[in-house]
Amino acid sequence: MPSAKILEQKKATCQALADKIQNAAAGVIVSYTGITVEQDTAMRKELREAGVEYKVYKNSIIGRACEAGGYGDLGKALEGMNAIAVSASDPIAPAKILKSYADKIKTFEIKAGFIDGGAIDVNAVNELANTPSKEEMVCRILGSMMGPLYGLAYVLQAKIDKEESAD
């Protein structure tokens, strides 16, 4: 039986993770087997730059934290060696970055995730990863708005040029 001090440390760790999960925009649970040190270092750097916290915890701590955070369904995915990536602001970043590594590394596997107060399965995480970034979506919207305006400008300029050549 663990000592009272160790139990308190585990409870504090679990509560800190539960708080992060509750306040997060999204998160993803992965099985990190088969990743090399170089790949792991590069992935952690990429996640850190995107504002995503990635950490390996014991499955029992992740399970209890998810339960306390309102995502008890995620406990089903906790078999083997797992890590959790949590983003406080960007709901797409953890899924997008981790999916890129799961595509490269056969044994690195996305297991589940959460977003908008609900647990999601691996298929939903993959769909989320394929969603364009905010900047890309803004560019697409602006491009679709500017297209008709450019067309109108060309028509008006052609009319002006035709009238000037007629004079």
Residues 29-86 have pLDDT tens digits of: 999 888 889 999 999 999 999 899 999 988 888 888 888 878 888 888 888 888 999 9
Amino acid at the residue 155: V
Q: Phi/psi at 165 (nearest 5 deg)?
A: -75, -25
Cα–Cα nearest to 132, from 96, 104, 158? 96
Other beta carbons within 10 angstroms of residue 12's beta carbon come to 10
Residues 101-119 have pLDDT tens digits of: 888 888 888 998 888 878 8
**Reported pTM:** 0.75
